[in-house]
Structure 1
Amino acid sequence: MKKTLLICMVAAALVCAFALPSLYAVDAPGDMVLKVPAGAKATKSPVAFSHKGHAALDCAKCHHTWDGKAAIKKCSDEGCHVDTSKKGKKEPTSFYSAFHAKKDMSCVGCHKAMKKAKKAAGPTKCGDCHPKKK
């Protein structure tokens, strides 16, 4: 009886360790280009972004309103970073701040924090992300 219980417990542990994580895995899109939302005026060129290059991060680090279950929304979707005005660009609801704020949930903020911690970090200068328009 004890041997059967032990075998069942080990089998359950193995199922939990190997099968459950795949149920919650998110298939992130591949490389993409980040552009300002339709109707907004772009002052810099679009940014090439690699989800695969950020695969080690928790998705909720950037997608900070995601509950881990629903579909992940874009920053420019309703209720997130929808303000595209130049006047409100430092506000938390601005599209600009989603990528440039000093908080570590933005691209620039995270890259600077990693650089400060002496870890491999992404670009922190404008021209490194926004190549000159040709």
Structure 2
Amino acid sequence: MTLSNLLYPNGGGPLYTASKHACRGWCSNSRTSWPQGPGNGRRGGMRTDLRGPESMGMAERSIEASFARSATTGDNPAAAAARRERRSRRFHGAYVLLASSANSSKITGAIIPVDGGIAARGFRTAAGGDDL
């Protein structure tokens, strides 16, 4: 499972963030319910056109816009790589590690951040808009 904006306060609004925290709880507790599985997740940062709910006025805000170049702060250091590699090849390693029982047998309930640089530079705009 992916938990892309789990730890970022302005990444997706309250509903999105709450749903991701529910998934985080599932990862943490799944090991006791299904001991044969690792119960790990991956925090992705892939460029997608995922948008917020229209009822909250977020239908026009795309996750992809968060990866865009900002005239004020410059480009995300990893954005050039993300543009070159729009498919998920650069993210496969985290999935393979967590799916491999040989390599992840001692990793339980972990969330691996693979966010394309968002943790280092933050989002270009807050989920609630620039006027916060």
Classify the TM-score, shorter chain.
under 0.3
Higher helix share goes to which structure? 2
Q: Which has the higher contact order (CA 8 A, sep 6+)?
A: 2
TM-score (norm 2): 0.24
TM-score (norm 1): 0.24
